[in-house]
Structure 1
Amino acid sequence: MLENVKITRKLPLVIISFALLSSISTGMMSYKFAAEQLILSAESKLVALLDSRKESLLQYFDTVKRDLFIHARSPQTRDAVIEISEAWADLGRSQQSTLQSLYITDNPFDVGQKEALLNAEDGSAYSQAHKKYHPFFRNLAAEHGYFDIFLVDKTGNILYTVKKEDDFATNLLNGKWKDTHLARAFTMVNKNPSVGNAYLTDFERYEPSFNQPEAFFATPIHKNGEEYIGVLIFEMPIKYINSVMQISAGMGETGETILIGPDELMRSNSRFLDGESILEASVHTESAVKALSGVSGVQFEQDYRGMEVLSAFAPFDFMSLHWAIIAEIERDEILSPLRVFVSALAFSVLAGTVVIFIVGYFLASDIAKPIAAMSSMMNRIANNELDINISVSERKDEVGHMAKALEVFKSNAIEKDKLQKELTYMAHHDMLTGLPTRQLITDRLQTMTKSYSKEHFPFAVMFADLDNFKTVNDTLGHHIGDEVLKAAARIFQEALRDGDFVARIGGDEFVLLFTNLREAEEAMEIAEKLVVSIETGLKLVSSTIPVTLSLGVAVCPDDAEDTTSLIRHADEAMYRAKQKSKNCCSR
């Protein structure tokens, strides 16, 4: 081979040829490997972002559902329906015209602010009931982010709304709005008003609410847990869902997450379309079709804009909602680091035989090792090992770009984990006082009752209700009411010992759990001290209106040994304390 070529030329030629071949082969393999790793990294990142958005939305809907059930079963809601229904009947047959005139037409507040009117001052029983219950429901809607709250009787009359829009005082079975999804939510619950039943509509434009996309969540209201008396409906705006889907952290310049309904219309805005795309922009892609049919996956395809993207997709199902959720990023952005890599490789081949041979050898090692290390790190991050150190030296070439991209991926994974923990904390803690919610104390109490035996020390469940709290809210304002609740929470927390627990379960109601009592009578001693502490401590917050404590006590095992009976016993004891004189405790 090359017998007629001098060795002085042949050897360099052979070395150069093999060096070039090696460089080209190494370059091709490195390109393929890097592209595969970038795509794998993008797939893992998209799936993680998709799961994070999906979990956030499921937690949101589940929180609203629990909130709906809690308030549908509360004495406040039940009494409101009963009293407002009686006042409604007193108005005769002109309820709609009378109430819309009082609370909409003659309402002195501007459109969108009609809820500010507390009492129409017409002397009717309806206005008295409205004055009594409107602050509670208005505060509930404001605190929980609901656009409106409806109380509807069994015959479809909208007895009460917070917002006082055009649907107020109309009938959902034969009135102007009988063909809306609000009427559909009422009808579905009205057909089966059993305890625990609920119905959630999809988002549709609702004309009375400025034609904005709204959903309605409905559940029946019962008197004494048996007699069906009406329906509680929450009107849910789409802004929270849209805000979750619009988070762009970790999505790069071309990535986004979107929700799609069964009609193939968006349920969240696109970051790349001008104007409103909710219920306007159509998405008929292969990913959307698969997700709507219940299939999850990751694939390359053309998106709704005609761009080639890597798309991660999955179904999103909650009660009657059947949506598709998609996270995607353009292919060009995923593979953009490879362009710099190819340029550097071509330059090294043209630099000369000797330089190629020497540099090629070191370059292959210099590239392969960091990529392999980053591949290992990607897999560890994909397995949620977020405490690893990305030990790649600072570089200015494409490997450095990949390392920085991996740092961003790690930061996004850490942010996702942090967000999930924050959402879990928010779902189980009251935002005003920082105390645990009903679910946490119920779980704690169920654990204690299941493991309790006669050899254990007794423990006590206390149901606390602040006296005169509504008067403080109505007279001094909700900001003072909030300070009263926070001060009461601090007093309760200061009274806790190791193993004790306190939670806010709604409004001005708290549940306390005191463990390891020497004897049952010790519970009443603690309760009496709490009554005194609240009366003394809250004078500093509400000096003009005394806020005291009515406290019901139940002791395990003397009064009951299961969770439901203990809470019911404590609740009944609290009501006895209120009926007795307030500012006291009862067992």
Structure 2
Amino acid sequence: MKHINKLYLLIIILLSTVVCHGADLEKMYQPYYKQLDKVRENKQEELVRYLKRVESVAKSIGSDSEMKDLFIMKRHLYNQTKTAAMTQEQKDIQQFLRNSIIDRYMDRYLVFYDLLFIDEAGDIFYTNRRQGDYRKNIFKGKLAKTALSKHLKNDSKYSFVDYQNFEVSAEPSAFFMVPFVMNGKKLGWFVLQFAVNRIDDMFSIESNLGRTGEVFLVNEDQYMLTDSRFTAESTILKKHLSSDNILPKFKEKSGHKLVVDYRGFRALSSFNVISVLGSKWLIIAKIDEDEVLTSEYKKMSNRKQNIFIKDTINSINIKKVEKYILKKDIEVDMDEFKRATNGQTLYTH
């Protein structure tokens, strides 16, 4: 751990508490809020375009005649062999059907983590990956408690199931449910499992947010849907954010806020609520206030810096400030410090 130079800490405190109040502070922050807006809007547009393409692919399976034929044949074979051992001929047919389904999946539906065939009774009679849900019933046992099961039971139409921790694949997953109806009768569903990896990758890189900035997604339950750039472990559906921070943003829909973020730092944030396939997500772009204040101080000429420090020290009880600094030593996490070593020093609190 490393103690921060007290002189620079004093400068940061003075900038934020003495010189800039109210309208002055807001005016100073405006260019940074505009930059946050731009980053957030660009990321939002990228996300919406991507999800529209994914949804279009998902819906197309409902009119894919080849995949529908494979569904019917695989369902028929499953019903024949549920309670009896397979003959060699049936094993050969099963392998042929599996190869055909995977070929079609690779050709058209590779954007999805897995493809499931589920019949009208809830039996999962086919999956590409053959994980723990294969040949189980979605409406029974542990699977009955999943969000997917509840949606299938209550919604017979096309639907999107928002990201939840899916125990079968041991990772956060969303699902596209596409009913299979023939001659007015529902035979079951195509279910396309959609992993969060591609969206997380989309949000992991942003070159226009300085050293402490990031842009991320939050769901209505106040859990992060993308990883934090400041922690080694995943935060997806694990990091629950403050209700005092997140709920007002969902209520206000869009705007700017100076908040204490999930890392305990004061941060400028730009936010917007977006409708995603029937769900609502919050997209946030933010940057630490300390980085902004450090940047503003460095923009001053040496002469202005000296005048500022002299005038400010003369106008306040410097012993009181020094006592505050000594009483509240500031330490920087070394992992974060390494991320800031690009030739400039980042002063944080």
Which category describes the TM-score, using the shorter chain as reference length?
Answer: 0.7 to 0.9
Q: As a proportion of its length, which structure holds more strand?
A: 2
Is 1:198–1:217's contact at 8 Å kept on the other side of the alignment?
yes
Q: Deviations over 1:517-572 (max 9, x none)?
A: xxxxxxxxxxxxxxxxxxxxxxxxxxxxxxxxxxxxxxxxxxxxxxxxxxxxxxxx
How far apart in 1 are the matches of 2:308 and 2:195? 60
Matched, 1:55 2:45: yes
Is 1:219–1:232's contact at 8 Å kept on the other side of the alignment?
yes
Is 1:287–1:311's contact at 8 Å kept on the other side of the alignment?
no
Give the % identical residues.
Answer: 21
Change (3 A) 1:51 1:188: farther
Change (3 A) 1:148 1:236: same
Q: Structure 1: 5+ residue runs without aligned partners?
A: 1-27, 103-119, 351-587
**Letter of the structure 1 residue corresponding to residue 120 of structure 2:** K
Change (3 A) 1:36 1:221: same
Q: Which has the larger radius of gyration?
A: 1
**Letter of the structure 2 residue corresponding to residue 199 of structure 1:** S
For 2:121, which of 152, 155, 161 is the aligned residue? 155
For 2:188, which of 230, 254, 274 is the aligned residue? 230
**Which residue pairs with 1:206 in the alignment?**
166
Change (3 A) 1:173 1:219: same
Change (3 A) 1:29 1:165: closer
**Which residue pairs with 1:77 in the alignment?**
67
How far apart in 1 are the matches of 2:268 and 2:145? 41
Is 1:35–1:338's contact at 8 Å kept on the other side of the alignment?
no
Structure 2 residue matching 1:136: 3-state secondary structure: helix
**Which residue pairs with 1:127 in the alignment?**
95
Change (3 A) 1:301 1:81: same
C-alpha displacement of 1:176:
4.6
Structure 2 residue matching 1:208: 3-state secondary structure: coil
Matched, 1:331 2:289: yes
How far apart in 2 are the matches of 1:294 and 1:348? 41
C-alpha displacement of 1:29:
10
**Which residue pairs with 2:32 in the alignment?**
42
Q: Structure 2: 5+ residue runs without aligned partners?
A: 1-17, 310-349
C-alpha displacement of 1:347:
4.6
For 1:297, which of 225, 246, 255 is the aligned residue? 255
Is 2:74–2:97's contact at 8 Å kept on the other side of the alignment?
yes
Which has the higher relative contact order, 1 or 2, with Cα contacts under 8 A spaced 6 or more apart? 2
**Letter of the structure 2 residue corresponding to residue 181 of structure 1:** A
Is 1:198–1:218's contact at 8 Å kept on the other side of the alignment?
yes
How far apart in 1 are the matches of 2:270 and 2:95? 54
C-alpha displacement of 1:221:
1.7
Change (3 A) 1:333 1:176: closer
Is 1:134–1:162's contact at 8 Å kept on the other side of the alignment?
yes
Is 2:67–2:104's contact at 8 Å kept on the other side of the alignment?
no
Is 1:181–1:216's contact at 8 Å kept on the other side of the alignment?
no
Structure 2 residue matching 1:282: 3-state secondary structure: coil
TM-score for the superposition, normalised by structure 2 = 0.74
TM-score for the superposition, normalised by structure 1 = 0.46
For 2:104, which of 113, 136, 150 is the aligned residue? 136
Q: As a proportion of its length, which structure holds more helix?
A: 1
Is 1:148–1:234's contact at 8 Å kept on the other side of the alignment?
yes
Matched, 1:169 2:135: yes
C-alpha displacement of 1:128:
3.4
**Which residue pairs with 1:220 in the alignment?**
179
How far apart in 2 are the matches of 1:288 and 1:29? 30
Cα root mean square deviation, aligned? 3.0
* Structure 1 residue ranges, 4+ long, deviating more than 6 angstroms after superposition: 28-35
After TM superposition, the structure 1 stretch with the greater mean CA deviation from structure 2, 302-311 or 332-341, is 332-341
Is 2:57–2:108's contact at 8 Å kept on the other side of the alignment?
no
C-alpha displacement of 1:88:
1.3
Change (3 A) 1:329 1:234: same
